[in-house]
């Protein structure tokens, strides 16, 4: 292979990367290749970079797999058996026509055309005798010995797989006769690894969301295998019936499966071949609509003014909860989400046309990116926090959880606090958002100004697309109407 990961085929450059032997069983291949669709090498050097980066990420992720999924090994056996048969056919035709066999066909089984210390002396002799100087070439015996070498090496490779002996025997049968293969769960570890990397690298989906998707797919995988069910619309319907969760969560399971299905149908030839004539398993599932049941998000309850006072005083009275107390104050005077607050840095305290404001630019939505004026009541608190900051963040975080969520520890602290005070699961930190909106609404603040403060779309083209929104002075006058009568001394 070219040292610069490029190979020229039919006048077009292709990117190419050999896969290390330790992860080949996981990735089901020995190399990555992709046409760069250009005959210009300088352009190919530039175009290859994203492919190499993506492939390296697949290799890195694959190495994290501790064990080999037996289904991955079985699928690999089907593919390898097909490549071997193509090689035998090509070699026989080349011998008859006295022409060179196709190089790409040879490369497809290159790993199994090598003589190593694991091969017997007889196998070495049978192969090498065809290459001795002055040897008479016998095409039939040459093809037979090459076929024998590939067969032996495929079985040697199977012997080394980290599987049970019964599973290895199953792989050997598939190598000998691919029709022996019957699909089990299509959610193999190799596919999940590649899907996970695709979601992260190509689509840019955050780690936590991707991990949740993969976790849900693994639950489906486990159920399909334990129930001995094939992946189908009906089996997924049965699976959903086993879940003791809300319909909203069931739809999220379907979304995870659908995302995998769409990826696999586009990127995995084996999956596409197996399911191309089957109705998508994750679409058009129906759910009974309960008119009396509100969505869980709508079930969130806002805090009354007296509740905010009660929660603030309880937090203030606790030891080592000064940061949580500050968070409660900011949330109750801005309507900001807890993670938005924890992501605020000193540089995010800005002068917005003469109004000291929070520059909230790390929001979960596009509309959530906004300037929110700092309420006069908490201005001294913010100045103190800026002065005390050691790392540039307004809120000191223990380090965040594995997804980099800086509010994780404080969300749990708040959960324990509000539960101890007698508030149910519908009262959360996010409830302060509803409290602020309610206070602004009852103070006759225009809806568009409220939406600009808390970061909601107006759902109108005129305001969402063309208007720059209310002025900083208008927003400050509005937020100043939020009042709890707190003693902040």
| In a shared domain, residues 120 and 200 | no
With cut-offs at 50, 70 and 90, classify the pLDDT of residue 466. Answer: very low
Q: Which two tokens stand for residue 214?
A: 């993969």
| In a shared domain, residues 337 and 413 | yes
Q: Is residue 201 part of a domain?
A: yes
Kindly report the CATH number assigned to the domain that includes residue 222: 1.10.150
Which residue, 150, 180, 210, sits at the end of a domain?
A: 180
- Residue 356 neighbours by CB under 8 Å, 6+ apart: 349, 350, 373, 374, 379
Q: Is residue 300 part of a domain?
A: no
Nearest alpha-carbon partner for 152 in 130, 107, 121, 108: 121
* Residue 343 burial class via C-beta count within 10 angstroms: exposed 0-12, middle 13-18, buried 19 and up: buried
| In a shared domain, residues 142 and 198 | no
| In a shared domain, residues 141 and 51 | yes
pLDDT for the residue numbered 379? 95
More confident residue, 311 or 109: 311
Q: Which two tokens stand for residue 228?
A: 């001995």
Kindly report the CATH number assigned to the domain that includes residue 376: 1.10.443.10
| In a shared domain, residues 330 and 455 | yes
How far is it, in rounded angstroms, from Cα 411 to Cα 454?
20
Q: Is residue 18 part of a domain?
A: yes
| In a shared domain, residues 138 and 267 | no
| In a shared domain, residues 174 and 193 | no
| In a shared domain, residues 56 and 30 | yes
Q: Kindly report the CA angle at 124 between 122 and 126, in degrees rounded to 5?
A: 65
With cut-offs at 50, 70 and 90, classify the pLDDT of residue 462. Answer: very low
Neighbours of 195 (CB within 10 A): 22
Average pLDDT over residues 415-430: 94
Q: For a pLDDT cut of 70, what percent of the chain falls above it?
A: 90
| In a shared domain, residues 55 and 154 | yes
Q: Is residue 83 part of a domain?
A: yes
pLDDT for the residue numbered 302? 93
Average pLDDT over residues 28-35: 82
Neighbours of 167 (CB within 10 A): 17
pTM value is 0.51
Which residue, 162, 180, 198, sits at the end of a domain?
A: 180
Domain count, the chain: 3
More confident residue, 171 or 421: 421
Neighbours of 228 (CB within 10 A): 7
Average pLDDT over residues 327-346: 94
Q: Is residue 63 part of a domain?
A: yes
Percent helix, percent strand, percent coil in the chain, to nearest 5: 55, 5, 35
282, pLDDT greater than 90: yes
Q: Is residue 174 part of a domain?
A: yes
Q: Is residue 230 part of a domain?
A: yes
Give me the residue label for tokens 């801005």: 334
How far is it, in rounded angstroms, from Cα 312 to Cα 414?
11
Give me the residue label for tokens 């103070």: 443
pLDDT for the residue numbered 138? 81
In the 3-class helix/strand/coil scheme, how is 216-265 assigned residue by residue? HHHHHHHHHHHHCCCCCHHHHHHHHHHCCCCHHHHHHHHHHHHHHHHHHH
With cut-offs at 50, 70 and 90, classify the pLDDT of residue 91. Answer: confident
pLDDT for the residue numbered 401? 60
pLDDT in tens, 358-395: 998 865 555 557 899 999 999 999 999 999 999 899 99
How far is it, in rounded angstroms, from Cα 24 to Cα 9?
24
pLDDT for the residue numbered 461? 46
Which residue, 180, 208, 223, sits at the end of a domain?
A: 180
93, pLDDT greater than 50: yes
Average pLDDT over residues 12-18: 90
Mean pLDDT of the chain: 85
Strand partners of residue 311: none
How far is it, in rounded angstroms, from Cα 461 to Cα 440?
24
User: Which domain covers residue 65, as residue numbers?
Assistant: 6-180
| In a shared domain, residues 380 and 267 | no
Q: Is residue 355 part of a domain?
A: yes
Neighbours of 226 (CB within 10 A): 9
| In a shared domain, residues 154 and 243 | no
27, pLDDT greater than 80: no
Q: Which two tokens stand for residue 50?
A: 């994203």
| In a shared domain, residues 169 and 225 | no
How far is it, in rounded angstroms, from Cα 308 to Cα 146?
80
pLDDT in tens, 311-325: 999 999 999 899 999
């Amino acid at each position: 292979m070219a040292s610069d990961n490029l190979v020229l085929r039919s006048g077009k450059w292709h990117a190419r990367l050999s896969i290390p032997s330790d992860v080949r069983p996981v990735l089901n291949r020995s190399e990555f290749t992709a046409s760069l669709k250009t005959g210009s090498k300088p352009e190919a050097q530039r175009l290859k970079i994203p492919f190499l980066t993506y492939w390296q990420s697949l290799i890195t992720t694959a190495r994290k797999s501790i064990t080999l999924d037996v289904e991955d090994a079985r699928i690999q056996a089907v593919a390898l058996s097909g490549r071997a048969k193509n090689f035998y056919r090509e070699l026989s035709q080349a011998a008859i026509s006295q022409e060179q066999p196709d190089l790409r066909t040879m490369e497809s089984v290159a790993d199994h055309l090598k003589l190593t210390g694991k091969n017997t002396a007889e196998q070495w002799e049978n192969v090498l005798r065809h290459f001795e100087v002055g040897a008479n070439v016998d095409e039939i015996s040459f093809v037979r010995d090459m076929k024998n070498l590939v067969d032996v090496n495929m079985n040697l490779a199977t012997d080394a797989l980290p599987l049970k002996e019964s599973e290895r025997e199953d792989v050997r049968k598939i190598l000998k006769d691919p029709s022996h293969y019957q699909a089990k769960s299509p959610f193999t570890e190799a596919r999940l690894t590649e899907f996970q990397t695709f979601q992260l690298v190509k689509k840019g989906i955050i780690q936590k969301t991707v991990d949740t998707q993969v976790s849900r797919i693994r639950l489906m995988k486990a159920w399909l295998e334990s129930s001995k069910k094939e992946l189908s619309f009906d089996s997924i319907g049965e699976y959903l019936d086993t879940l003791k969760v809300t319909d909203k969560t069931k739809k999220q399971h379907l979304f995870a499966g659908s995302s995998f299905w769409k990826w696999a149908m586009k990127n995995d030839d084996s999956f596409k071949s197996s399911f191309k004539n089957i109705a998508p398993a994750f679409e058009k599932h129906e759910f009974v609509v309960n008119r009396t049941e509100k969505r869980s998000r709508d079930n969130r309850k806002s805090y009354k003014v007296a509740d905010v006072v009660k929660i603030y005083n309880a937090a203030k009275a606790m030891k080592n909860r000064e940061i949580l107390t500050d968070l409660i104050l900011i949330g109750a005077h801005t309507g900001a989400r807890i993670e938005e607050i924890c992501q605020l840095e000193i540089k995010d305290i800005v002068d917005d046309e003469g109004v000291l404001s929070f520059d909230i630019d790390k929001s979960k939505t596009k509309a959530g990116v906004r300037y929110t004026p700092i309420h006069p009541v908490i201005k001294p608190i913010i100045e103190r926090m800026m002065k005390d900051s050691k790392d540039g963040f307004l809120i000191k975080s223990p380090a965040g959880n594995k997804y980099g969520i800086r509010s994780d520890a404080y969300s749990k602290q708040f959960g324990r606090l509000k539960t101890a005070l007698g508030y149910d699961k519908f009262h959360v930190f996010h409830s302060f958002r509803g409290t602020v909106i309610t206070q602004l609404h009852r103070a006759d603040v225009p809806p568009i100004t409220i939406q600009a403060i808390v970061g909601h779309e107006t759902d109108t083209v005129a305001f969402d697309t063309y208007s720059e929104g209310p002025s900083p002075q208008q927003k400050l006058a509005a937020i100043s109407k939020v009042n709890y009568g707190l003693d902040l001394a």
